[in-house]
A and B are shown apart, each in its own frame.
Chain A
Amino acid sequence: MKRFVYINDDEASKELCCDNRISNRKYTLWNFLPKNLWEQFSRFMNQYFLLIACLQLWSLITPVNPASTWGPLIFIFAVSASKEAWDDYHRYLSDKKANEKEVWIVKQGIKKHIQAQDIQVGNIVWLRENDEVPCDLVLLGTSDPQGVCYVETAALDGETDLKTRVIPSACVGIDLELLHKMKGVIECPVPDKDIRRFDANMRLFPPFIDNDVCSLTIKNTLLQSCYLRNTEWACGVSVYTGNQTKLGMSRGIAEPKLTAMDAMIDKLTGAIFVFQIVVVLVLGIAGNVWKDTEARKQWYVQYPEEAPWYELLVIPLRFELLCSIMIPISIKVSLDLVKGLYAKFIEWDVEMIDQETGTASYAANTAISEDLGQVEYILTDKTGTLTDNKMIFRRCCIGGIFYGNENGDALKDAQLLNAITSGSTDVIRFLTVMAICNTVLPVQSKAGDIVYKAQSQDEDALVIAASKLHMVFVGKNANLLEIRFNGSVIRYEVLEILEFTSDRKRMSVVVKDCQNGKIILLSKGADEAILPYARAGQQTRTIGDAVEHYSQLGLRTLCLAWRELEENEYLEWSVKFKEASSLLVDREWRIAEVCQRLEHDLYILGVTAIEDRLQDGVPETIETLRKAGINFWMLTGDKQNTAIQIALSCNFISPEPKGQLLMIDGKTEEDVSRSLERVLLTMRITASEPKDVAFVIDGWALEIALKHHRKDFVELAILSRTAICCRVTPSQKAQLVEILKSCDYRTLAIGDGGNDVRMIQQADIGVGISGREGLQAARAADYSIGRFRFLKRLILVHGRYSYNRTAFLSQYSFYKSLLICFIQIFFSFISGVSGTSLFNSVSLMAYNVFYTSVPVLVSVIDKDLSEASVMQHPQILFYCQAGRLLNPSTFAGWFGRSLFHAIIVFVITIHAYAYEKSEMEELGMVALSGCIWLQAFVVAQETNSFTVLQHLSIWGNLVGFYAINFLFSAIPSSGMYTIMFRLCSQPSYWITMFLIVGAGMGPIFALKYFRYTYRPSKINILQQAERMGGPILTLGNIETQPRTIEKDLSPISITQPKNRSPVYEPLLSDSPNATRRSFGPGTPFEFFQSQSRLSSSSGYTRNCKDN
């Protein structure tokens, strides 16, 4: 579990024998061909076709030239292999560039210039400002006297703020010259990919320090791909190199996600395979019987009396080869091509560009666009995903006094400004905590202004607010903080930082006032993490009420507190803190325990309230998607009341009386069990009522529910359209996604931060928002968008179109293959069941590859409904969610059509070209022509919107068919010499073609018209309305009674009684969200709003599952 890195010791490092060569390649020059072949033939489809191709090499059984399968197979393999080779070559170039970059290292006390790939573990590496870190280093020295340097980690975690890194305490004071000669050992974990953790120890050898163990953390490291900033130079010892770095361990080819549609296509392929086996068995047996009875009478065939043992297998295998065309060989390539284009359409969409940042959407995963159209559950983060993640300080409560009540902005509150001017002690302390109880880094900009680099938007908001209230955080120099207040500069020395963690839910700093030498602890955190540790005797009820009040307003709250420390107390505690920091086992827990010993007897100063505004368009997006039958779950680490208010303003739930919230709470198993049981009972009752019910659960109760009552919770999850999960951890978010997936729902997870990565990767579709907290979510996601509101377009337009187009493409591919195959089967009955192919090999090969492939690719620009229609009637997405366009039933329709068309082509051909016309090549070409004409008309009939490209591809394909065959007919050595010339000069040929088209398409056209007019689907109705150009009038209740604003903002029903704050105000009356939800009576949006409530009561999503 550990490894030892010896600093500056080449001999000791050799046993680790890992240089810094970076390799992202999948192949080498030598193993490319076998490895790629192995990969391609690991797929069932390719294995199947390889088997067919090998069987065809046996001339005794092959009905056609082996080229008819080997040709397409080799072509498809070559296309895939070329793509893989191209990708891998680019990886090679990228690796080469990184590996050959020059860096400075120290060898035997001398600086040397080497290539990055030659760095060994234990080498001391020197960096200059703006250099990229070539491998994972432990920092040893910097140009800064305090041993601090700054790194930019955007390439690693997407965060653009500078982070501070500090040398280990053991290295403090070491002279520059001695750094070259430094020797020691670092005891560190085996390589892993956690970029937020590095728990290690370092021991320097004499003469530096006598065996003093020094603890190391992630703050002492420079990780690969970071950039050194604002620092002249830094040096460190390499601890992880090559693909063992944290970045290298994180790399890896993601497991491909399979869409519901891919699974359905696989099932249909399996069904066709079974059908094929049955046909082969029947024909094989019939062929053998016919051979033993009738064929021996046919003297001209000269069947031998005695046959080898394998003779029984010959005819069945021959029919297997003849019927192998049932599974279209081109379907995989076609699907891959169109999926790539779907992804491009998403990236090209100008309506999905975030104008503010210029960020276009990006599809990292090109294989799952169809699932976007089948989404049933959306699990969304809140902060930064639904909200802007642009925190603004709004209100506060200091010493029992509320500020910012009048206009919702404490910065303009005259009372607060007066308190600051008059030097109120509590207010000054409050502002001090706001200003320096953080990890913010003030940076002087070129214009002289102070810009704050903050890792957390909360901290950023507090520091900025403090500066506007004249408590300006102006400088930070290693451990020294400078604050300017009322013209005077106050300095503090930072003694210790007690980090914020999700479990502790608070952070503290220990500072020494440089003026009076007092040691002070400053804390901030969640109310449940601060208030219980208040000084004995302090009355915290008012502060608790303030927290409650601000949460009701949808604001984020933090409690601020402080206390003075005795020097002895601090020194004693400091020893324990350093001791805990050195542990390799359970370090985090031990540190939390030690921090707890200091964070007590706090004097509670007050509460801050920060607004996290909704992004534009979020309520409308959620409303539309809910009307589309998509259920929304909010998973947030935030507190419950804040989450509820955001959910209300987002249209997650309707306000009372239509909406109802059910709470699952409790700290013990009995409490959670009772609460869950009650909520489940209520949910069962209301499942059949037109009511909008959601459940609310926090992380603690969720943990208990999943551990002890998983079955009940799963039932509740299925019954719920909406859920609000508060205070949940990233792993709990992923667990919730897993629960919904295990119930066979298609899930989409959307988030913007690192804590969303787990659920984004777990979901069927992961969507990341490129936000202010970095790009971790966007990097890990299948799709990244700039704003939440683009989700509507991603699903309703791109998802729906992708689903529709793939449904057509896959079923059409089977149709055309089955069509030609049925004709071969019919022909076998009139060729002595001997396995003769009616078509020649060239025609069969060209049929699959050319004749019937081009028209279908243009289906990728087909639109059954315009984008505006879908946006107006999002309920139409139900057809995609329910799989209404690709399922065994629709597939049976295409199967029946191919059988019908095969009968038409075969019967007409053999009767029109009978007697003196029944020459094999001519009759085969007539049948093939019939197939080409029919498939052209089928594609035309199934096309919804004809653009120039559609016409070119459909009818141009027909012309291409004749051009190719005229070409073959002109080659004397081909079997088709002069065939097409003879046929096209015969009137009977064209009359036959016309008859085939009329007889084949007439009944199908009639059936389509009848369904379209007398049994229209919802899609047909919208198509008719759209194409007739009239306005789509929505029937429904016209709201005759005018609504008042108060009704819109009526408080939601919470089953637990709550104490009202003495300073209670109308709910959300000051929030900008309130105006967004106010609509006059009779506006068009009102109709859709009522439709949403009514359609949710129909519960067709659940009915879909029941069906």
Chain B
Amino acid sequence: MSSTAASSTVGGGGSSEISGVKKTSKRPKYSRFTQQELPACKPILTPRWVILTFLVAGVVFIPLGVICLFASQGVVEIVDRYDTDCIPTSSRNNMVAYIQGEGDKICKRTITVTKAMKHPVYVYYQLENFYQNHRRYVKSRNDAQLRSPKEEHDVKTCAPEDNVGGEPIVPCGLVAWSLFNDTYSFSRNSQQLLVNKKGISWKSDRENKFGKNVFPKNFQKGAPIGGGTLNISKPLSEQEDLIVWMRTAALPTFRKLYGKIETDLHAGDTITVLLQNNYNTYSFNGQKKLVLSTTSWLGGRNDFLGIAYLTVGSICLFLAVTFAVLYLVKPRQLGDPSYLSWNRSAGGLQ
């Protein structure tokens, strides 16, 4: 946009030049602000500047889109859905009963690495149609209790998972109670792949949100049992599975970090996963997926930003071309006073 500086100076308004008969003390103080005469820049939308703006936007957005797309494409991601396949064929008519029943629920999955994955390789579990953002669920926790052992009786926001037998549950609330409890172990060519589960939570959570002297108490002692159990001899600040789970997900489809594999995976490798299929997603038609992924400066694999940038950039270029053609075909003179109606009516009466 072009601009013309419309600053103005009024020198004649000084009080020394006023020769009024009565000079009252209430005379307003003169300044550019009080006279609404601050110097101002008034931009004007000219075709040249508008077309150039859209052109520049297109030129900036499209390369950015390409860069984002490449960054996303550079991430190697393997997604394995296992919730249905891990139910024995004979139990698939009533999967809820199977998942709630006793017995070992080991499941064996085979994953083929199609592309080399440099370490660290992040292991996520992905849940779908799981509403961690449901209001009743998201409110059912007490951060003060998690932070300090003195607050262990502060369970008023945790109902119905607040007390068992009159004793407070630590950690209380639906969020902790429904802790995800599937487990995974990985091996390659009959050799165990070590999964590092340290440092998977936020450092600030470990240091400030979960107390070092707060230990689980009465956890999963009542009925029903919702999810995983906790090691009662470790403080909450060291139970990183719990800390990760209690970071509320905003969307019904989310991934949470399970651990990191610190060795490179080569193309063609076959990974064998032994998993404990414990968590019930069958009641609400949810899905469970195991995700192995590398990362980039943009994060995990996500083509959306790249595609969006390309789309917006293309639209900007299209608009630039359209306005340019429009300008060539139908030029309009800016500020033509003949279009003012009170001038047009003059012409009309001629």
Contacts and interface: CB of A to CB of B under 8 A. Distances in A.
Instruction: Tell me if chain B binds chain A.
Output: yes
Interface of A: 63, 294-295, 297-304, 318, 344-345, 347-350, 353-360, 627, 690, 801, 827, 830-832, 834-836, 838, 861, 863, 866, 873, 875, 908, 910-924, 944-950, 972, 975, 977-978, 986-988, 991-992, 994-995, 998-999, 1002-1003, 1005-1006, 1008-1009, 1012-1014, 1016, 1018, 1021-1030, 1032-1037, 1090-1091, 1094-1095, 1097-1098, 1100
Nearest to A63: B135
19 contacts: A301-B136, A301-B174, A350-B28, A357-B22, A873-B340, A913-B250, A916-B124, A920-B247, A920-B250, A945-B41, A978-B202, A988-B299, A991-B64, A991-B309, A995-B308, A1014-B330, A1018-B339, A1094-B345, A1100-B341
A999 B28 CA distance: 47
Interface string B272-292: 000000001001110000000
Contacts of A919: 247-250
Interface in B61-103: 61, 64, 68
A832 B133 contact: yes
A95 B339 CA distance: 61
Contact of A916 (B47, B130, B132, B300): B300
B208 A998 contact: no
A355 B208 contact: no
B253 A1025 contact: no
Nearest to B247: A919
Max chain B CB contacts within 10 Å: which of A835, A920, A922?
A920
B4 interface: yes
Interface in B30-62: 30, 33-36, 38-45, 47, 50, 53-54, 57, 61
B257 interface: yes
B20 A861 contact: no
B316 to A, nearest CB: 6
Contacts of B226: 299-300
A834 B43 CA distance: 47
Residue of A975, A1006, A1036 with most partner-chain B CB within 10 A: A1006
Query: Which of A863, A866, A919 has the most C-beta atoms of chain B within 10 angstroms of its own C-beta?
Result: A919
A721 to B, nearest CB: 16
Contact of B204 (A690, A977, A1023): A977
B133 A836 contact: yes
A1029 B2 CA distance: 12
A986 B160 contact: no
B136 A834 contact: yes
Interface string B250-284: 11111111000000000000000000000010011
A201 to B, nearest CB: 44
A1028 B44 contact: yes
A920 B337 contact: no
B134 A298 contact: yes
Interface in B306-350: 308-309, 312, 315-316, 319, 323, 326, 330, 332, 334-343, 345-347, 349-350
Contacts of B122: 916
A916 B257 contact: yes
B338 A912 contact: no
A354 B18 CA distance: 10
Contacts of A347: 28
B194 interface: no
A347 B29 CA distance: 10
B178 A1012 contact: no
A918 B43 contact: no
Contact of B34 (A295, A298, A348): A348
A439 to B, nearest CB: 27
Nearest to A347: B28
Contact of A1094 (B39, B249, B349): B349
Nearest to B133: A831
Nearest to A908: B308
A1035 B319 contact: no
A978 B341 CA distance: 59
B19 A355 contact: yes
Nearest to B124: A916
Contact of B133 (A358, A920, A1036): A920
Given A356-B20, A988-B298, A1030-B335, A914 B27 contact: no
A350 B13 contact: yes
Contacts of B315: 1002-1003
B342 A1025 contact: no
A1095 B345 contact: yes
A302 B174 contact: yes
B302 interface: yes
B143 to A, nearest CB: 8
Given A832-B131, A987-B298, A988-B299, A358 B27 contact: yes
B174 A1021 contact: no
A316 to B, nearest CB: 13
Contacts of B256: 916
Residue among B208, B312, B330 having the largest count of chain A Cβ atoms under 10 Å: B312
B312 A910 contact: no
Interface string B9-32: 000010000111111101111100
A975 B246 CA distance: 13
A1021 B345 contact: no
Interface string B154-183: 000000110000000000001001100000
B305 interface: yes
Contacts of B342: 627, 873, 875, 1091, 1094-1095, 1098
Contacts of B6: 866, 945, 1027
A830 B202 contact: no
Contact of B248 (A304, A920, A1095): A920
A858 to B, nearest CB: 10
Contacts of B349: 690, 1094
B38 A1035 contact: no
B138 interface: yes
A359 B35 CA distance: 17
A1003 B334 CA distance: 22
A991 B68 contact: yes
Contacts of B26: 360
A974 B77 CA distance: 35
Contacts of A63: 135
Given A915-B124, A916-B254, A999-B308, 15 more contacts: A344-B34, A348-B28, A349-B35, A627-B342, A912-B302, A917-B299, A923-B251, A945-B41, A977-B208, A1002-B319, A1005-B53, A1013-B47, A1016-B339, A1023-B335, A1091-B346
Given A1024-B334, A1091-B342, A1009 B45 contact: yes
Contact of A998 (B134, B178, B312): B312
Contact of B253 (A298, A914, A920, A945): A914
A310 B249 CA distance: 30
B136 A303 contact: yes
Given A861-B38, A1009-B45, A1021-B337, A302 B308 contact: no
Nearest to A627: B342
A911 B64 CA distance: 17
The list of the 7 closest CB pairs from A to B, nearest first, reads A1025-B335, A1024-B335, A945-B40, A348-B34, A300-B178, A358-B22, A1036-B346
Contact of A946 (B43, B54, B347): B43
B169 to A, nearest CB: 14
A1038 to B, nearest CB: 11
Contacts of A1008: 45
B184 interface: no
A350 B298 contact: no
A577 B191 CA distance: 131
Given A916-B255, A1033-B337, A838 B250 contact: yes
Nearest to B203: A978
A896 B330 CA distance: 29
B126 to A, nearest CB: 7
Given A358-B20, A358-B21, A1029 B35 contact: no
Given A875-B342, A978-B204, A995-B305, A836 B135 contact: yes
B35 A350 contact: yes
B47 A360 contact: no
